[in-house]
């Protein structure tokens, strides 16, 4: 399926926060969305993952235990490993991870049918990070096993607040 990416919106983090909501970015215009994150750093030297949760049609965070995730951990200093999660409350590491500045991250994720209230929302992602000077990568998949209309996404930290970073959302238009 050929198509064009069309910019929808971006959100920049400029102060210390534990989460960032990107609201009203999913609609009936597109079925596939691309979300990129870049330049996230923490306010301390604490290693933190950048997880995600979807927002429902009222902007409320979907934190029920309806997410299933699987990802491959690609570590530069040790053997690769797999993580599988069933019935959890977030999309684990969907936006990568970060450490103290200047170490940051970059991530590309895709979400399928988030606005379709009669379908599950599926996603896939790949991220590159540098933690304590060591290169790391992650590739993963997710599903929200609840058929509901989603209109946005929350990026949240697992440990330390982030003090900078950028999230951009694009829609994939079919030709």
Task: Specify if 19 maps to a domain.
Answer: yes
Count of the separate structural domains present in the chain = 1
Residue 108, helix vs strand vs coil: strand
Task: Specify if 170 maps to a domain.
Answer: yes
The mean per-residue pLDDT over the stretch 46-64 comes to 90
Task: Specify if 144 maps to a domain.
Answer: yes
State how far the Cα of 130 lies from the Cα of 97, in Å rounded to an integer. 8
Quick one: pLDDT at residue 100?
Answer: 57
Task: Specify if 43 maps to a domain.
Answer: no
Quick one: pLDDT at residue 35?
Answer: 96
In tens, the pLDDT along 85-126 reads: 999 999 988 887 776 555 667 899 999 999 999 999 999 999
Structural contact between residues 157 and 19, judged by C-beta atoms closer than 8 angstroms: yes
State how far the Cα of 19 lies from the Cα of 12, in Å rounded to an integer. 12
Domain around 97: 3-36+50-174
Task: Specify if 42 maps to a domain.
Answer: no
Share of the chain above pLDDT 90, in %: 59
Task: Specify if 44 maps to a domain.
Answer: no
Q: What is the mean pLDDT of the chain?
A: 89
State how far the Cα of 118 lies from the Cα of 45, in Å rounded to an integer. 43
Structural contact between residues 34 and 172, judged by C-beta atoms closer than 8 angstroms: yes
In tens, the pLDDT along 65-78 reads: 999 999 998 887 88
Task: Specify if 101 maps to a domain.
Answer: yes
């Amino acid at each position: 399926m050929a198509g064009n990416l069309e910019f929808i919106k971006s959100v920049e983090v400029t102060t210390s926060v534990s989460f960032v909501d990107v609201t009203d970015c999913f609609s009936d215009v597109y079925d596939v969305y691309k979300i990129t994150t870049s330049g996230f750093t923490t306010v301390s030297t604490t290693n933190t993952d950048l997880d995600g949760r979807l927002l429902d049609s009222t902007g409320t965070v979907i934190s029920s235990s309806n997410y299933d995730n699987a990802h491959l951990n690609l570590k530069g200093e040790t053997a690769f490993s797999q993580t599988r999660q069933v019935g959890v409350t977030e999309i684990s590491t969907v936006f990568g991870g970060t450490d103290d500045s200047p170490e940051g991250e970059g991530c590309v994720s895709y979400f399928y049918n988030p606005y379709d209230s009669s379908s599950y929302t599926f996603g896939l992602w790949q991220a590159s990070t540098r933690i304590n000077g060591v290169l790391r990568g992650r590739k993963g998949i997710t599903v929200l096993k609840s058929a509901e209309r989603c209109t946005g996404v929350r990026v949240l930290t697992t440990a330390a607040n982030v003090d900078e970073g950028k999230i951009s959302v694009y829609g994939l238009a079919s030709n």
